[in-house]
Structure 1
Amino acid sequence: MEALDMNLLVALDALLDTNSVTLAAQRLHTSPPAMSRTLTRLRGALGDPLLVRAGRSLVPTPRALELRYEVSTLVEQGRSLLAPRGDPDPSALRRTFALQAGDMVLTELAAPLLSAARAQAPGVTLRFLPDSLEGTSALRDGRVDLEVGVIDHADPETTVRRVLADRVIGVAAADHLLVTDRVTVAAYAAARHLSISRNGRAHGPIDDRLALHGRTRRVVATVPNLTSALFAVRGSDLVCPAPALLSASALPALGLRAFEIPLPLPEVAIGMAWHPRNSADGGHRWLRDLVQEILLRSAAAVRPQKQRRGRTDQDTGGGLESR
């Protein structure tokens, strides 16, 4: 192996294809003397003259004729192996992708993503995993291929792409006073609140903003995710926060209404995270681009015209409640 020189295969392919030292040198952009020296090395390595003089031309030996097809195939395979790959044809993909998405994103993402994947890449299987793996080494270990949602726990080995910024609104039953009447800080603070927290914490950014007005709120319960919160608010006098764009389709389906919270709250930054080993992979890139397209299209469909100016990438995101 120490004496193995793969360049000799390329030179041998050119020599056997052209039966000419001069033409082989031209093909490989080298000089005829250099190619002649390479032919000498090949003769020594193979124990055969390969090309011999016949009049004014060179003709291949029987050994050279035996090698011609095999050498050509090896060189072509080597070129193909080392050539950069373009974007794959999604219809030819036969892969399974594991996605981890929070429930507030999953409600807007799952159906259109499944539909688009079926149309573009019928050989792709999507596995939606719960967000219980969030903040673990699942991306690094390969248990999760793509995480979608509020990415606030990325480690140095994780690549994160910001997709969109959502704003926080209040949600209540259609006949709630905060929906039918003018919303003031005092009225909002006096309502019965439902907090969304995976860790069961009642205090969050809303309480910090209320404290600046000398107000506190009564959090009567906490639930771990947005879906549970929306079902709990339905038919009750409770209110809860929600991302405006990502909850727009769920609210009318549940008979709920949105209202503006009279407080300056941090944005909800929605993004994607993956391990860098997948960055250059064509199939993974197809999935990332498709997820981003669906989320942006969903947001644009419900975003008021005055909000379409968007935000800069320098804006920082924030959660709905305490994590």
Structure 2
Amino acid sequence: MLNQTDLARVDLNLLVLFEAVIETLHVGRAAERLYVSPSAVSHGLGRLRRLLDDPLFLKTPRGVVPTARALELTKPIADVLAGVRGVVAAATPFDPATSTRRFAIGAPDAVSVVFLQPLLAAVRAKAPGIDLTLRQLLPVPGESAPERAWRGAFADLDDRALDIAIVPMNAVPARFDSRLLYDEDFVVAARAGHPFAKAPTLDRFCAMHHLVTSLGGDPHGFVDDVLAKQGRSRRVALTVPNFMLAMAVVADSDLIAALPRRFVQSHGKAAGVVAIEPPMPLGQSQLNAVLPRAAATDQGLVWLADRLVDAVGRKLSTRKTRSPHGTEGLQHRVRATQRRPVRDGAG
């Protein structure tokens, strides 16, 4: 245990370094996050080991693994850093009626359309001086673990380049808090009058020409995994880099696509696109708003997170359509991303 005299020699940067290493489990990646050299990280770890009288991290061919003591320290150190960040963030009292802050929110484009309009209305009504920046978030192609796939969003939260990131994952790193916004599932999107809508059977689904949303152009989506379990396959005739383009292409072609239900509900009618229940369960995912723990003492971020949750609630309260699959497969999409590389597209 450190006594009061020992605290005088504790460098807060060492705790930040510990946080980076425990999150990345790699000295080089921790160095990249902190914008320092790997040797600086190694030197800092040496100081931490002497300070805490424990090896903390053991080298492996793929990086480092934490000791039992390091795992015990993860949450306490995250709480300490969250408190420090909160003190800094809370230096100026927040009043939404007079604030002129700009907040940055990151989300996939199919998620942004669910909350953006009601959030803008709430901000205009309660905080006319506040401005928003909306950024599109995309997972890192080829990463199998969700925390690695969305590491860019987490890094931006750490650097305060983002205030809130909305991502499809349940468990977030210890230095963040999260709020569940809604559960999402997928439907088959097709132009109005598409012949598939008359008889949406599995055989006809497999016979159709499909579109997959994929930033990197990978034609294999999670729908292909579902089909493979049934000994089926399909033809992916086109890939596009985002959901909005997918909607536009589907509206003007005979291609069909698996798209998020609420995205199609929000924009499908205007585009001439209908939502068709898939011939097999495609599972669901949870969309969570992730924000730094410092938000607990940053009144502005708390206010924004509350407005975001309210905006989603109002938006969804006007749409009572639920998936016929109920809660079955709630974790399917999340578990699927943990078993294979996280795709940057829909299906």
TM, length-normalised to structure 1: 0.66
Q: How far did residue 269 of structure 1 move?
A: 1.6
Match of 1:174 among 180, 189, 192: 192
- Distance of 1:225 and 1:135 partners within structure 2: 19
Name the SS for the 2:317 alignment partner: helix
Match of 1:92 among 90, 98, 105: 98
- Distance of 1:121 and 1:310 partners within structure 2: 38
Bigger CA drift: 125-134 or 277-286?
125-134
Aligned to 1:155: 173
Match of 1:302 among 307, 316, 319: 319
Pick closer, same or farther for the CA change 1:310–1:120 going to 2, 3 Å: farther
- Distance of 1:292 and 1:93 partners within structure 2: 20
Query: Does 1:110 find its partner at 2:116?
Result: yes
Q: How far did residue 303 of structure 1 move?
A: 2.3
Q: How far did residue 211 of structure 1 move?
A: 1.5
Larger radius of gyration: 1
Name the SS for the 1:237 alignment partner: coil
Q: How far did residue 115 of structure 1 move?
A: 1.9
Amino acid at match of 2:318: A
Amino acid at match of 1:155: P
Aligned to 2:231: 214
- Structure 1 regions of 5+ residues with no counterpart? 1-80
Query: Does 1:135 find its partner at 2:151?
Result: yes
Amino acid at match of 2:283: P
Pick closer, same or farther for the CA change 1:309–1:184 going to 2, 3 Å: closer
Q: How does 1:124-273 map to 2 (within 5 A)?
A: 124-131=130-137, 134-136=150-152, 137-151=155-169, 154-179=172-197, 181-273=198-290
Bigger CA drift: 88-97 or 213-222?
88-97
Amino acid at match of 1:108: V
Q: How far did residue 96 of structure 1 move?
A: 1.1
- Distance of 1:209 and 1:310 partners within structure 2: 18
Query: Does 1:318 find its partner at 2:329?
Result: no
Pick closer, same or farther for the CA change 1:205–1:212 going to 2, 3 Å: same
Deviations 1:8-52 (A, max 9, x none): xxxxxxxxxxxxxxxxxxxxxxxxxxxxxxxxxxxxxxxxxxxxx
Deviations 1:175-232 (A, max 9, x none): 21112x1211111011100011223222222111112222100001111211010011
Q: How far did residue 149 of structure 1 move?
A: 4.0
The RMSD of aligned alpha carbons is 3.0
Name the SS for the 1:92 alignment partner: coil
Q: How far did residue 146 of structure 1 move?
A: 0.6
Aligned to 2:39: none
- Distance of 2:138 and 2:187 partners within structure 1: 25
Amino acid at match of 1:94: T
Q: Is the 8 A contact 1:135 1:153 kept in 2?
A: no
- Structure 2 regions of 5+ residues with no counterpart? 1-86, 140-149
Pick closer, same or farther for the CA change 1:309–1:239 going to 2, 3 Å: closer
- Distance of 2:235 and 2:171 partners within structure 1: 29
Q: How does 1:50-69 map to 2 (within 5 A)?
A: none
Name the SS for the 1:144 alignment partner: coil
- Distance of 1:200 and 1:279 partners within structure 2: 40
Q: How far did residue 252 of structure 1 move?
A: 0.4
- Distance of 2:274 and 2:255 partners within structure 1: 12
Q: Is the 8 A contact 1:158 1:275 kept in 2?
A: yes
Amino acid at match of 1:283: G
- Distance of 1:212 and 1:309 partners within structure 2: 18
Q: Is the 8 A contact 2:164 2:290 kept in 1?
A: yes
Aligned residue pairs, count: 237
Deviations 1:56-113 (A, max 9, x none): xxxxxxxxxxxxxxxxxxxxxxxxx9xx99x954213231111112111112322221
Q: Is the 8 A contact 1:246 1:299 kept in 2?
A: no
**Identity over aligned residues, as a percent?**
28
- Distance of 1:114 and 1:149 partners within structure 2: 20
Name the SS for the 1:258 alignment partner: strand
- Distance of 1:283 and 1:311 partners within structure 2: 34
Q: How far did residue 237 of structure 1 move?
A: 0.6
- Distance of 1:308 and 1:217 partners within structure 2: 23
Amino acid at match of 1:104: A
Q: Is the 8 A contact 2:170 2:288 kept in 1?
A: no
